[in-house]
Amino acid sequence: MENFRSELFFIALVAALAPLMAELPSRFRVPVVVVELVLGIIIGPHILNLASPDGLVGMLGELGLTFLLFMVGLEIDLGEIQGRPMARAIAGWVLSFAVALVSMFIVHSIGLIQAPPILAAVALSTTALGILAPILRDEGVMDSDFGKLILPAAAMGEFGPLVVISMVLIPTHGTIIHTLFIVAFVAVAFLAAYMAIRVRTSKLIDTLAHTMQSSGQLPVRICIVLQALLVVLAAQFGLNVVFGAFAAGMVVGLASRGERGALLRQKLDAIGFGFLIPTFFIVAGMRFDVSALWASPLVPVQLLSLLGLLVLVRGAPVLLYKGELADADRLPFALYSATGLPLIVIITEIGVSSGLMAPDRAAVLVCAGMISVLLFPILAGRARRQVRLIGG
């Protein structure tokens, strides 16, 4: 227990330092997620050995994972991205996943990247909506025509991979029983969503809001109960728990849309991004096997190949946007869509813990995701600014 106290101190210290370091004046702003991972690597067993990602620390990391997926679901507003942009986003992600599958089977067969093709394909088809959203907002892109196309595509880049992970990759029952469990869970989630919409349009939300200024904090506690319930149900139905957390986030998002739910979302942000979510990324950094990056002379080639595949896979959907996406916006669209670190970390964590992926293969994938977060948004922003300057 004494060791756990010291490990918790170092995790808390790193969590506090990460946003400070991310805000340091620099030509290239580093996302806080990358800083958390790097600091986690430094204090982890592979470098300073100040903390270990086992025992209670590992449990805190798993709790942070579920809360991260809960917050991802909370961010997605289906009301704003429905219609034609959403239809394009769905078709685009399906195309991305198909391209990723073909690409990974090819590189796997020639021995370039020895990772389970389906798992690696899911990782390549992700987009980091949580990282992209503030970047797009800071650049004034969110409310533009380009933003209204990239936002649904990014949302599907998070939702699609989660569905595949939970429903296809890790089934724990036979096909028929597993399908029935999926249907049952989806029915429960839809019932919860229906109740959430009814609550939002009733006076009950105002009644619950009164406890937000007291020690009761009833709406926050209800959100935690709902998350725990859907996580347990997902596990009981043979789905991966991340799908339960994601579904809970979407349900809470439906109930808390609008000004009346703003305070609740702020409090959930504080719980998640103030403690649990940084803990997940720091613990994930502790598990990062740094030695894998120089264990083989093929690693630099693998990293370059994965970065190229990220752009190819998530850039393929631009073929579906003829007439809607300007030619000059096609490359920025592909680069923004290919930014995918958080879900890559989640997918590799699931792969390693379930024995489907070797830790050294996971390390290379995560490293490619870190480079994508550092590089792709910068290149995309520069490409759009250059086009505007030439056009002006």
DSSP H helical ranges for the chain: 2-22, 32-43, 55-75, 78-81, 84-109, 117-124, 129-138, 145-164, 175-200, 204-209, 218-236, 241-255, 262-271, 277-287, 299-315, 330-337, 341-353, 359-391
SS3 of 289, please? coil
Residues 6+ apart with CB under 8 A from 74: 249, 250, 252, 253, 256, 265, 268
Domain of 198: which CATH number? 1.20.1530.20
Return the higher-pLDDT residue of 202 and 57. Answer: 57
Backbone angles phi, psi at 191, to 5 degrees: -65, -45
Residues comprising the chain, all counted: 392
**170 has pLDDT over 60:** no
**Residue 162 belongs to domain spanning:** 2-391
Closest C-alpha to 153, from 99, 97, 208, 93:
93
**Residue located via tokens 């989660």:** 162
**152 has pLDDT over 80:** yes
**183 has pLDDT over 90:** no
Q: How many C-beta atoms lie closer than 10 Å to residue 180's C-beta?
A: 14
State how far the Cα of 136 lies from the Cα of 132, in Å rounded to an integer.
Answer: 6
Render pLDDT for 81-119 as a digit per residue (tens, 0 to 9). 566 778 888 899 999 999 999 999 998 888 877 778 888
CB 166 within 8 A of CB 245: no
Render pLDDT for 244-264 as a digit per residue (tens, 0 to 9). 888 888 888 887 777 767 788
10 pLDDT tier (thresholds 50, 70, 90): very high
Query: What pTM value is reported for the model?
Result: 0.78
State how far the Cα of 9 lies from the Cα of 75, in Å rounded to an integer.
Answer: 30
Comparing 94-103, 184-193, 284-293, the range with the smallest average pLDDT is 184-193
Return the higher-pLDDT residue of 128 and 107. Answer: 107
**Residue located via tokens 């970047």:** 135
CB 228 within 8 A of CB 177: no
Render pLDDT for 215-242 as a digit per residue (tens, 0 to 9). 778 888 888 998 898 888 887 776 667 7
Q: How many C-beta atoms lie closer than 10 Å to residue 375's C-beta?
A: 15
| Per-residue model confidence (pLDDT) at position 101 | 93
Residues 6+ apart with CB under 8 A from 348: 123, 357, 362, 365, 366
Closest C-alpha to 125, from 160, 151, 149:
160
User: Per the structure, how many domains does the chain have?
Assistant: 1
State how far the Cα of 150 lies from the Cα of 141, in Å rounded to an integer.
Answer: 9
> What does the angle CA 346 – CA 182 – CA 192 come to, to the nearest 5 degrees?
85
CB 360 within 8 A of CB 256: no
Closest C-alpha to 147, from 383, 315, 332:
332
Measured between alpha carbons, how far is residue 123 from residues 158, 203, 337 in Å?
A: 10, 42, 13
CB 68 within 8 A of CB 283: no
Region 321-337 average pLDDT: 87
| Per-residue model confidence (pLDDT) at position 315 | 92
Assigned token pair, 124 = 């390549």
What residue type is assigned to position 100 of the chain? A
